[in-house]
Amino acid sequence: MRKKMIRGDDEWRELLTSDQFRVLRRAGTETAFSGEYTDLEVDGVYLCAGCGAELFSSATKFHSGCGWPSFYKPIEPEAVEEHEDLSFGRSRVEVTCSVCDGHLGHVFTDGPPPTGLRYCINSVSLDFREGE
């Protein structure tokens, strides 16, 4: 288990940009194909833009064509938490950071081997650390 980081909205508003706040703290979505990491192919680790936790490795990133950075698994199983999301009249699985509970995106079952999963993640929810 990763240790939780709990902050109130006032604190998050000071720490995050307005776009980060809208996505991470209000489950928003960035416009498809607008994010800075969608097509990035550099080796490294993707971190939570809210709390800095390690979330995804570039080794599991793939081009899904969906317009958001896509990974077939998190860097370790406990890095993220998954929740049923019934908003917009459909059933999806929301993915959040297990440390700060920030909204990252959704996971779908149309991904590539070896997992068959597609973690579809907002760039604005991520930071990138090059070199691993």
**Residue 29 or residue 112: which is nearer to Fe ion going by CB?**
29
Query: Binding to Fe ion by residue 49, rule CB under 5 A?
Result: no
Active site residue 66: no
CA gap 128, 103 in Å, rounded:
17
Query: Binding to Fe ion by residue 79, rule CB under 5 A?
Result: no
Query: Binding to Fe ion by residue 104, rule CB under 5 A?
Result: no
Q: How far is CA 121 from CA 8, 14, 127, in A?
A: 23, 23, 12
Residue 94: CB minimum distance to Fe ion, A = 14
CA gap 90, 17 in Å, rounded:
29
Query: Binding to Fe ion by residue 126, rule CB under 5 A?
Result: no
Query: Binding to Fe ion by residue 105, rule CB under 5 A?
Result: no
Cα of 117 vs its chain's centroid, Å: 14
Query: Binding to Fe ion by residue 50, rule CB under 5 A?
Result: yes
Judged by CB under 5 A, the residue of 16, 23, 47, 51 near Fe ion is 51
Helices (H) and strands (E) in the chain, counts: 2, 9
Among the listed residues 48, 97, 100, 120, the single catalytic one is: 120
CA gap 49, 101 in Å, rounded:
12
Active-site residue list: 120
Summarize as ranges the residues that interact with Fe ion (CB under 5 A).
48, 50-51, 53, 97, 99-100, 102
